[in-house]
Structure 1
Amino acid sequence: MRAVAVLAVVLFHAAVPGLRGGYVGVDVFFVISGFLITRLLWREADATGTVRLRNFYAARARRLLPAATLVGAVIMIASVALLPPLRAREVVIDGIASALYVSNYTFLLQGVDYFGAEQSQSPFLHYWSLGVEEQFYFVWAPLILCTVWVIRRVRRRNRNEAASSRRPYVLALSLVAVASFALSMVVTHLMPPAAFFALPTRAWQLALGGLVALTAGQWGRLPSLAAAVTGSTGLGMIVLACALLSQSTPYPGTAAILPTMGAVFVIGAGCAAPTAGCGRLLGTRPLRAVGRISYSWYLWHWPVLVLVPVIVGHDLGLAARLVAAVFSAGLAVATFRFVENPLRFSPKIRESAWRSLGLGAGVTAVAGCVGAALLVGMPTPVGRGSPAQPLAFTLAPVPVGESADAHDNAVRQAFSLVNDAVAASAHLEAVPSNLQPALAETTAERQAMRLDGCLLAPFETGQPECVTGDPTSTMTVALVGDSFAAMWNPAFEQIAVEQHWRLQTLTRSLCPLMHVRITNPYLRREDTNCEQWRSQIFDKLRTERPRLIVLSMSRGYDATTGVTPYDPAWLDALTRVVAQLRSTGAQVLVLGPIPDPRTHVPICLSDHLDDATACAPSRSSAVNEPGVAAEAAATELGGGHYVDLTDLFCTDHHCPVIVGNTLVYVDQGHLTPQHSRALAPVIGQLVARALAQN
């Protein structure tokens, strides 16, 4: 069964066609662990009337920690050697969390999507399941021990000295299974990543394995034919799950029933007829050999698949991915032979629980120290180029009452000044030593984009009152949209302070104001809360009646969200939302897209400190100019004003990622707050022009 589980996961990660649901191999592992650990604990509790926690944890430490530490240390060292410095730092932090077996929760807090693009995934991503397993061990043994204690109290009170019974343990595990499954159903609907990574929503799978262990006698009474059919059906359910489920399936939820019950049926049938039906296949020498190295293979396969493309400099084809998977199996054989078995079966270590626990503590400390040493010793990526001047300029305001031509001329002048600065930086090679923000500060800058809670996360509802500038002013400007509206907040906030406006920021991630149906890639379902938020925003705008509504949104939505920017549905929705906003009596200004850098810019620059042009896209690849023109027409049809921002970021051929000493992008698409503020004078001219028009 271990062989089935690890093969499913490895082939899924190798993107073998037809196995889109191979990630269910982890569910099979959970059932196996629940079965084995519960059987071990029950036998001890039944024989001795207690559970010796020290011995239990000592055995787990010998079995799991040395191999996990070795692989973890290698991943961290290899990542520092191969990955861009900023990315390597993130990976080392993941490694430390993995060494402490809390990576499942750190990934959850980071908003990691297990099914995201491979190139952006941590080499430690697969350690999430080890975190669940270790947390399970810490909970399960005390649970069995508490059940023993309850049984003793009840018998002492009733003066019942009858032989021990499995029923209390079955009841305890049944309660855990029911509660955990109910929680899993609810959380899978509300927030699938939390349900995927967390122990409380996975415990039912471990509990079902434990229930098989406690009811092995009943399973053993199955006739041979019935056991063969049950086991074969179970194996078929696992294979079916591998073929039918996919990355878009809300998981675990009800979908996890298929592979979980499949594993239950296979193990239960094996209690009755281990060599009948699928037992004969699972008992063959090749599968048993794979099962023996399954733990080490699981540890090695993912980092190999993630890091080998970095070494060769390009993505791997199917054949190369399979070769990498086989290579990782070779590493697993070596780890099994020279690390797992020698330490697991060493008489000197096995004979002493304290030595085993010391081994576990020691290797965990080694992993933590390796990570800490790498973090301390890793050089901070700092530009080595000459200091550059910041993008700074002043523009004379257009007097009130001037003609539209005067405003147009002012806007053209502003664009020209910025474009000159962009052109001067188009061929910048060495990253300036006074880059703002510094590359090492971009993580904090990304956090600042939340605007103290004014940018709602995809799972949040409601809209806080986010007013800046002059709250008492009668001149209200509303900045509305998704995170690509929020990134303009620093510019608008600066203008609001200077012009004594009342600025209201109304933003929610992954939710453009246009009425398009969004499938939230994190929730893996249609985001009904997005539509609810839109209704709230329209109600607020109708009530407050701002003079100007500025609309901005990402054009990076793709098939995972069910939205295609610039297509007819998108353009029609844009026209309708502009008309709807105009009906409030406000002028509407739609900001065109900023160029798509097609890479995580700070990470890229940290690896190309002497050649910033390596991270800068061409204008033709970064800007969809026909799409921008179509949006402009759609906006005008709805009665709004549209601004093509391309010339603020690009020359005729290039779109630099540094202008002067200012970093343009904080990640793979959003502006840094510094660059947003640097463009405030231009934004101010655009706003003045929009307000001057009827």
Structure 2
Amino acid sequence: MSTVASPEQRGRSGDHPQARDRTAGTVFRTDIEGLRAVAVLAVVFFHAGVPGIDGGFAGVDIFFVVSGFLITGLLWRDVASTGRVGLAEFYGARARRLLPAGCVVLVATAIGAALLLPPLQARAVLGDGIASALYVGNYRLALHGTDYLAADTPPSPFQHYWSLGVEEQFYLLWPALIIGVAWLVRRRTRRRRGPNSAPSTTPYLVVLAVVAAVSFAVSLDWTRTLPPWAFFSLPARAWELAAGGLVALSVRHWRRLPPVVAAAAGWAGLALIVFACLRLGEKTPYPGTAALLPVLGTVLVIGAGCAAPRLGVGRGLSLPPMRAVGRVSYSWYLWHWPVLLFAPIVLGRSLDLTDRLGMVMVSAGLAGLTLALVENPVRFAAPLRLSASRSLVLGGAVTAAAVCAALVLLVARPVPVGHGAAAAALTVSAPVELATPASDPRDAAVHDMTAQVQAAVAESAGLQAVPSNLSPPLADAPADKPAVFVNGCVRSWLEVGQDECASGDVTSATTVALVGDSHAAMWAPAFEAAAEQQHWRLETMGKVTCPLLDLPLTSPYLGREYSECEQWRGEILDRLRAERPQLVVLSMSRRYGADFGFSVYGGPWLDSLTRLVTELRATGAAVLVLGPVPDPQSTVPTCLSAHLDDATACSPPRPVAVDDAGVAAEAAATAAGGGRYADLTTLFCTAERCPVVVGNDLVYRDDNHLTLEHAQALSPVIAALADRALAPG
């Protein structure tokens, strides 16, 4: 899965002025143009899956440092020469440089999404496009990354715009910071040394150092506690931009370096960048301390270039091929990600490495065209260069056009709605006939109600057109969350402890505890209805991606040992021992893979299940372990939105969706501990297929969790299973 912070989202190009580098007092820095080539190649090859470039996402850090260097130098030059910052000219230049190409690619990507993606996914992607056009897409991604139930959605073709958002926010705040410092300095120097005092960089260096220190502290903390916010937000990334600014304000010191020292520093910086690209990876907590490698490396390369040593790394970076790649770096960055995402859809197959490299070259060609037809003509157009107001109007116009284009495409890609015949709701009723004297009435109730559900599943297995009365509607499914996911009963990644979450008859002497991860919580609507009918006190105790099994667990979301899960497990077990509920219901996802540190249905999993059941039985509680729901193998609402006339296209074959051998092994492990196991497969599958629509119920809200409506429809069966487990003997 894509842990919350998935690595394929990393990279972006920075500003690229072709004028005199007035900060250093020298002509245009060709080595920086070559440094951009290093950065964009790292990002593009990383996204293309080139072996060995596991840390290519560090290219974004290179761009941030470069932008901080160039923009801070530009602003300082204005302050030093005129005592002010020409805001209109500054923002006009940024608008000419970044917005036309960015908006052209954004509109092209939006059109591609509307034409190629399933309707439901296309609408979500177009929302990403609007956020990206307004340069707040990074915060949309940060919010998305903290939503556990949205963590496994496919990557957006606009994900790479996140860093443009960071830089645009930097462009808004940085001039204000420089202006504020200049105002304070001007007031102090007039009082002390007169109005014509030569400006000093020291106050600006101090302010930038403070900004860098505070931002780096935020980055370290959020990398551990809020990884998506650490990765996508300006507060956690500002230190990288500030690092470039510190170099720009200390150029005169870098220029004093002896040639040998400067050359050594430059080569060492490049070595740090290469090491980061080769040694970092998806499991590296990022940015955190790991980002120091590319940031310090870039600082050394830029700083060493200020001294321009004859044998320095700048000579290699200034070679014509490197400069050529650097010139197209911005447009190449913009094009490469949507091309890589759309290519498998267009070609109708997954891409191998050769295909991906081919797409990299296609995006490079598009970048060259964009540079020649959009970037340079707009950037160097005399009417725009001579008028800041025209440049600003241009920027506003292309941004508005991009937003409007995405809105028009949203209207043209309406909310997908089933247009098949209305289907009858799934209803399960208690048996009216008394069980035979030789049978247990509780077994008979479970058998009878299971048969009712099986009949509905069999009737729906061949469903073609999605019912017009589908519940919930496809567009509403992603938000179809049980209350326990939002009221604190289900603890998020970093939360421990468990508030009392009681429902049903809260005064009842019969307590049922529903415990586990999100797959326990998705059954809460069924158990809540059962608790009200049976007059139980239901306690729901859940934590995301945290089964109660005693297994060493690594969190891909946090990128480290999941210590919060271990602590929560201990607290819950202590609570169960103290409260001694009559029944403990265990449920957990079976989608844990190697990224979590163990395999489902393996020996450690089964042994841990037996130990846990035995331990819970020792408290005097009955134990019911719920078997897994089938894996639908797709994000069901999205899949159905593309197959409104053939729901079977989204309904996986039973052998693919269910591991029958694993279920049988779990049943044996549960029995060995003295518990009862509920194999739920027959509630969802025929012998051949597991339909994703039963009656008029949409079974899954995403790619693995039940909808609230379907869980409630199955409540009578769940009640019967729990009632049977509660029975003595």
TM-score range, shorter chain: over 0.9
Q: Which amino acid aligns with 1:252?
A: P
What is the aligned-residue RMSD (CA, Å)? 1.9
Deviates more, 1:367-376 or 1:399-408: 399-408
Task: State how far apart, in whole Å, the 2-side matches of 1:208 and 1:135 are.
Answer: 17
Aligned-residue sequence identity (percent) comes to 57
Q: Which amino acid aligns with 2:67?
A: S
Deviates more, 1:317-326 or 1:469-478: 469-478
Decide whether aligned partners of structure 1 residues 238 and 403 sit closer, same or farther in structure 2, where only a CA change above 3 A counts. farther
SS in 2 for 1:491: helix
Give matches, 1:27-426, under 5 Å: 27-111=61-145, 120-161=154-195, 162-273=197-308, 276-396=311-431, 405-426=440-461
User: How far is the alpha carbon of 1:531 from its aligned partner?
Assistant: 1.2
Decide whether aligned partners of structure 1 residues 451 and 681 sit closer, same or farther in structure 2, where only a CA change above 3 A counts. farther
Match of 1:551 among 586, 590, 594: 586
Instruction: Note the alpha carbon deviations across 1:577-610, whole angstroms, 9 max, x for none.
Output: 1122222221110000011111101100000111
Decide whether aligned partners of structure 1 residues 113 and 431 sit closer, same or farther in structure 2, where only a CA change above 3 A counts. closer
User: How far is the alpha carbon of 1:281 from its aligned partner?
Assistant: 1.2
- Is residue 275–residue 283 contact of structure 1 (8 Å, CA) maintained in 2? no
Decide whether aligned partners of structure 1 residues 399 and 525 sit closer, same or farther in structure 2, where only a CA change above 3 A counts. farther
Task: State how far apart, in whole Å, the 2-side matches of 1:228 and 1:401 are.
Answer: 92
Q: Which amino acid aligns with 1:440?
A: A
- Is residue 404–residue 692 contact of structure 1 (8 Å, CA) maintained in 2? no
User: How far is the alpha carbon of 1:446 from its aligned partner?
Assistant: 4.0
User: How far is the alpha carbon of 1:158 from its aligned partner?
Assistant: 2.8
- Is residue 144–residue 151 contact of structure 2 (8 Å, CA) maintained in 1? no
SS in 1 for 2:440: helix
Match of 1:636 among 640, 648, 671: 671
Residue 439 of structure 1 is matched in structure 2 by 474
- Is residue 491–residue 542 contact of structure 2 (8 Å, CA) maintained in 1? yes
* Structure 1: 5+ residue stretches without partners: none
User: How far is the alpha carbon of 1:651 from its aligned partner?
Assistant: 0.7
Task: State how far apart, in whole Å, the 2-side matches of 1:113 and 1:441 are.
Answer: 16
SS in 2 for 1:642: strand
User: How far is the alpha carbon of 1:448 from its aligned partner?
Assistant: 5.3
Deviates more, 1:87-96 or 1:498-507: 498-507
Task: State how far apart, in whole Å, the 1-side matches of 2:394 and 2:475 are.
Answer: 36
- Is residue 449–residue 455 contact of structure 1 (8 Å, CA) maintained in 2? yes
User: How far is the alpha carbon of 1:412 from its aligned partner?
Assistant: 1.7
Decide whether aligned partners of structure 1 residues 561 and 648 sit closer, same or farther in structure 2, where only a CA change above 3 A counts. same
Task: State how far apart, in whole Å, the 1-side matches of 2:144 and 2:483 are.
Answer: 15
SS in 2 for 1:505: strand
- Is residue 309–residue 316 contact of structure 1 (8 Å, CA) maintained in 2? yes
User: How far is the alpha carbon of 1:274 from its aligned partner?
Assistant: 6.0
Residue 25 of structure 1 is matched in structure 2 by 59
Match of 1:4 among 31, 35, 38: 38
User: How far is the alpha carbon of 1:278 from its aligned partner?
Assistant: 1.7
SS in 1 for 2:596: coil
What's the TM-score, normalizing by structure 2? 0.92
Residue 541 of structure 2 is matched in structure 1 by 506
User: How far is the alpha carbon of 1:538 from its aligned partner?
Assistant: 1.7
1:465 corresponds to 2:465: no
Task: State how far apart, in whole Å, the 2-side matches of 1:40 and 1:93 are.
Answer: 34
User: How far is the alpha carbon of 1:521 from its aligned partner?
Assistant: 1.3
Q: Which amino acid aligns with 1:59?
A: A
Task: State how far apart, in whole Å, the 1-side matches of 2:193 and 2:277 are.
Answer: 52
User: How far is the alpha carbon of 1:404 from its aligned partner?
Assistant: 6.8
How many pairs were matched up?
Answer: 693
* Structure 2: 5+ residue stretches without partners: 1-34
SS in 1 for 2:584: strand
Residue 496 of structure 1 is matched in structure 2 by 531
Decide whether aligned partners of structure 1 residues 43 and 414 sit closer, same or farther in structure 2, where only a CA change above 3 A counts. same
Task: State how far apart, in whole Å, the 2-side matches of 1:452 and 1:119 are.
Answer: 23
Q: Which amino acid aligns with 1:324?
A: M
1:586 corresponds to 2:621: yes
- Is residue 446–residue 667 contact of structure 1 (8 Å, CA) maintained in 2? no
Decide whether aligned partners of structure 1 residues 550 and 458 sit closer, same or farther in structure 2, where only a CA change above 3 A counts. same
Task: State how far apart, in whole Å, the 1-side matches of 2:157 and 2:449 are.
Answer: 46
- Is residue 418–residue 465 contact of structure 2 (8 Å, CA) maintained in 1? yes
SS in 1 for 2:445: helix
- Is residue 62–residue 294 contact of structure 2 (8 Å, CA) maintained in 1? yes
SS in 2 for 1:477: strand
Task: State how far apart, in whole Å, the 2-side matches of 1:123 and 1:147 are.
Answer: 39
Task: State how far apart, in whole Å, the 2-side matches of 1:376 and 1:242 are.
Answer: 42
- Is residue 388–residue 432 contact of structure 1 (8 Å, CA) maintained in 2? yes
Residue 606 of structure 1 is matched in structure 2 by 641
SS in 2 for 1:94: helix
Instruction: Note the alpha carbon deviations across 1:307-357, whole angstroms, 9 max, x for none.
Output: 111111221100000000110011111111111111111111121111111
Decide whether aligned partners of structure 1 residues 397 and 135 sit closer, same or farther in structure 2, where only a CA change above 3 A counts. farther
- Is residue 418–residue 466 contact of structure 2 (8 Å, CA) maintained in 1? yes
Task: State how far apart, in whole Å, the 2-side matches of 1:68 and 1:57 are.
Answer: 15
Residue 577 of structure 2 is matched in structure 1 by 542
Task: State how far apart, in whole Å, the 2-side matches of 1:672 and 1:543 are.
Answer: 33
- Is residue 431–residue 449 contact of structure 2 (8 Å, CA) maintained in 1? no
Task: State how far apart, in whole Å, the 1-side matches of 2:306 and 2:483 are.
Answer: 56
Decide whether aligned partners of structure 1 residues 199 and 399 sit closer, same or farther in structure 2, where only a CA change above 3 A counts. farther
1:619 corresponds to 2:654: yes
Decide whether aligned partners of structure 1 residues 119 and 465 sit closer, same or farther in structure 2, where only a CA change above 3 A counts. closer
Task: State how far apart, in whole Å, the 2-side matches of 1:118 and 1:667 are.
Answer: 9
User: How far is the alpha carbon of 1:386 from its aligned partner?
Assistant: 1.1
User: How far is the alpha carbon of 1:540 from its aligned partner?
Assistant: 2.2
Q: Which amino acid aligns with 1:190?
A: T
SS in 1 for 2:538: strand
Decide whether aligned partners of structure 1 residues 52 and 398 sit closer, same or farther in structure 2, where only a CA change above 3 A counts. farther
SS in 1 for 2:623: strand
Instruction: Note the alpha carbon deviations across 1:48-91, whole angstroms, 9 max, x for none.
Output: 11112222111111111111111111111110100000100110
Task: State how far apart, in whole Å, the 2-side matches of 1:526 and 1:334 are.
Answer: 47
Task: State how far apart, in whole Å, the 2-side matches of 1:118 and 1:658 are.
Answer: 21
Q: Which amino acid aligns with 1:353?
A: A
Decide whether aligned partners of structure 1 residues 511 and 117 sit closer, same or farther in structure 2, where only a CA change above 3 A counts. closer
User: How far is the alpha carbon of 1:398 from its aligned partner?
Assistant: 9.8
Residue 8 of structure 2 is matched in structure 1 by none
SS in 2 for 1:200: helix
Instruction: Note the alpha carbon deviations across 1:85-107, whole angstroms, 9 max, x for none.
Output: 01001100000110111111110
- Is residue 119–residue 306 contact of structure 1 (8 Å, CA) maintained in 2? no
Deviates more, 1:274-283 or 1:446-455: 446-455
Task: State how far apart, in whole Å, the 1-side matches of 2:345 and 2:654 are.
Answer: 26
Decide whether aligned partners of structure 1 residues 280 and 117 sit closer, same or farther in structure 2, where only a CA change above 3 A counts. farther
